[in-house]
């Protein structure tokens, strides 16, 4: 399956240091990718902008990683100035920042879901090796970010304007179903073409297949993650979804980078193998691993 992942880009890799233990820092992640068939990855942190890391890793290793920002409270929530600040690092005039994620751990739907699970902190101790991270606060003290709240609408519109202006990718994070549909409609109205529905089969947001068909019809890409196979998803269900929606609207990523998971390159290769064995055509897997991520990052093939 090396040919399938050759030159692929993983749009969803967790990286540190961020107060949550991670397998890689930016330089070691770049070194891993440089030794693998993969071409690059987008680094994700729940806590900070990673475009600065991308520039450092590129200088240190020659491997061109890409940055993102997640609009949790750590960066001021739905904060257009944080997005603008993340646009600073660039290479030959092209910003390392490529993806703007809507809230994850501080999204209203995420906080509600984790309260239902009985979690007591916004950063579960499970994520931090069984200890309470210095980042964590009691989940009851979190002010959930609701994209439909009146106070958020103005800043969200400014964020969407920046995404449209700089050709960035909007990823929906852990926001809920109604917020997903609302923001996709707002984004498309503003001319944003690059939209990814973040691991929608994992709760949150836990969207139905019918929802995903509608969102793909609105122009969004549906992200399927290798880590979903450990969160209740299975390759057969993913195969059915790919065949129903069409590979032209699917991106395959890993959502890896945790301490005790396989390296992203290995995870992406395993993912590709499982999907092909389950009935997805190699050409469709290749499109979702190579062609679609490149388009979403505004890269030439």
pLDDT over threshold 60, residue 55: yes
Indicate the pLDDT class of residue 300, thresholds 50, 70 and 90. Answer: confident
Q: Going from the N-terminus, what domains does the chain have, and what CATH number goes with each? A: 2-117+145-296 (3.20.20.140)
Q: How far, in Å, CA of 277 to CA of 50, rounded?
A: 35
Q: Does residue 241 surpass a pLDDT of 60?
A: yes
Is residue 293 pLDDT above 70, yes or no? yes
pLDDT 10s digits, 142-158: 999 999 999 999 999 99
Q: In this model, does residue 168 exceed pLDDT 90?
A: yes
Q: Is the pLDDT of residue 1 over 80?
A: no
* Percent above pLDDT 90 for the chain: 96
**Average pLDDT taken over every residue of the chain:** 96
Provide the β-strand partners of residue 252: 224
Q: Is the pLDDT of residue 4 over 70?
A: yes
What per-residue confidence (pLDDT) applies to 230?
A: 84
**HEC-encoded secondary structure of the chain:** CHHHHCCCEEEEEECCCCCCCECCCHHHHHHHHHCCCCCEEEEECCCCCCHHHHHHHHHHHCCCCEEEEECCHHHCCCCHHHHHHHCCCEECCEECEEEEECCCCCEHHHHHHHHHCCCCECCCHHHHCCCCCCCCCEHHHCCCECCCCHHHHHHHHHHHHHHHHHCCEEECCCCCHHHHHHHHHHHHHCCCCCEEECCCCCCCCCCCHHHHHHHHHCCCEEEEEHHHHHCCCCHHHHHHHHHHHCHHHEEEECCECECCCCCHHHHHHHHHHHHHHHCCCHHHHHHHHHHHHHHHCCCCC
pLDDT at residue 3 is higher than 90 = no
| pLDDT score, position 301 | 61
170-204 residue pLDDT tens: 999 999 999 999 999 999 999 999 999 999 999 89
Model confidence pLDDT, tens digit, residues 19-41: 999 999 999 999 999 999 999 99
Nearest one of 182, 225, 219 to 200, comparing CA atoms: 225
Strand partners, 84: none
Q: Please report the sign of the dihedral spanned by the C-alpha atoms of residue 257, residue 32, residue 47, residue 17.
A: positive
Rounded Cα distance between 46 and 124, Å, is 13
If you average pLDDT over residues 98-110, what whole number do you get?
98
Q: Residue 166 pLDDT more than 60?
A: yes
| 62-66, 207-211, 231-235, 248-252: least confident range | 231-235
pLDDT class of 264 with cuts at 50, 70, 90: very high
């Amino acid at each position: 399956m090396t040919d399938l992942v050759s030159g692929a880009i993983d749009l969803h890799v967790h990286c540190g240091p961020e107060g949550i233990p991670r397998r890689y820092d930016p330089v070691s992640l770049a070194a891993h990718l440089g030794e693998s068939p993969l071409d690059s990855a987008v680094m994700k942190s729940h806590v900070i902008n990673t475009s600065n890391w991308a520039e450092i890793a590129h200088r240190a290793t020659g491997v061109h990683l890409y940055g993102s920002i997640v609009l949790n409270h750590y960066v001021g929530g739905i904060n257009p100035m944080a997005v603008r600040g993340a646009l600073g690092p660039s290479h030959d005039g092209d910003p390392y920042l490529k993806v703007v994620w809507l809230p994850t751990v501080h999204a209203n739907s995420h906080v509600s879901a984790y309260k239902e699970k009985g979690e007591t902190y916004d950063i579960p101790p499970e994520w931090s090796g069984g200890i309470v991270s210095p980042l964590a606060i009691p989940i009851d003290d979190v002010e959930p970010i609701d994209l439909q709240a009146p106070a958020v609408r103005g800043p969200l519109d400014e964020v969407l304007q920046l995404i449209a202006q700089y050709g960035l990718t909007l990823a929906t994070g852990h926001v809920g179903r109604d917020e997903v549909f609302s923001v996709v409609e707002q984004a498309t109205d503003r001319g944003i073409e690059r939209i990814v529905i973040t691991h929608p089969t994992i709760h949150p947001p836990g969207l139905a297949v019918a929802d995903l068909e509608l969102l793909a019809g609105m122009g969004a890409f549906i992200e399927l993650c290798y880590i979903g196979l450990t969160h209740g998803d299975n390759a057969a269900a993913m195969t059915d979804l790919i065949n129903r929606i069409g590979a032209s609207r699917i991106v395959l990523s890993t959502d890896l980078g945790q301490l005790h998971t396989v390296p992203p390159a290995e995870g992406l290769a395993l993912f590709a193998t499982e999907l092909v064995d389950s009935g997805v055509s190699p050409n469709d897997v290749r499109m979702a691993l190579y062609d679609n991520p490149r388009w979403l990052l505004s890269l030439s093939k």
